[in-house]
Amino acid sequence: MSERKQRTPAEIIAETEAKLSRLRVKAAKQGAMSDPAITPLVAELNTLRIDIREAKKGLGSGPQSFDARVTKHEVWIDKIEGERTEAEHTLSEALVRKNEIETAINQAVNALVTDGDAEMSAGA
Residue range 63-72, pLDDT digits in tens:
889 999 999 9
- 18: CB partners within 8 A, 6+ apart: none
Q: What pLDDT, on the 0 to 100 scale, is given for residue 122?
A: 63
This prediction's pTM: 0.47
pLDDT tens per residue across span 81-105: 999 999 999 999 999 999 999 999 9
Residue 1: band (very low, low, confident or very high) from pLDDT cuts 50, 70, 90: low
d(CA 33, CA 27): 10
Do 57 and 64 touch, CB atoms closer than 8 A? yes
Do 65 and 58 touch, CB atoms closer than 8 A? yes
Longest dimension (CA), the chain: 138
121 pLDDT above the threshold of 90:
no
* Average pLDDT of the chain, as a whole number: 89
Length of the chain: 124
Q: What pLDDT, on the 0 to 100 scale, is given for residue 16?
A: 96
Mean pLDDT of 31-41: 82
SS3 4: coil
List the helix and strand counts (H, then E) for the chain.
Answer: 3, 0
Residue 19: band (very low, low, confident or very high) from pLDDT cuts 50, 70, 90: very high
Do 77 and 83 touch, CB atoms closer than 8 A? no
DSSP state of 124: -
Hey, where are the domains in the chain?
Answer: 9-59, 63-124
Rounded to whole angstroms, what are the CA distances from 48 to 15, 34, 41?
A: 35, 19, 10
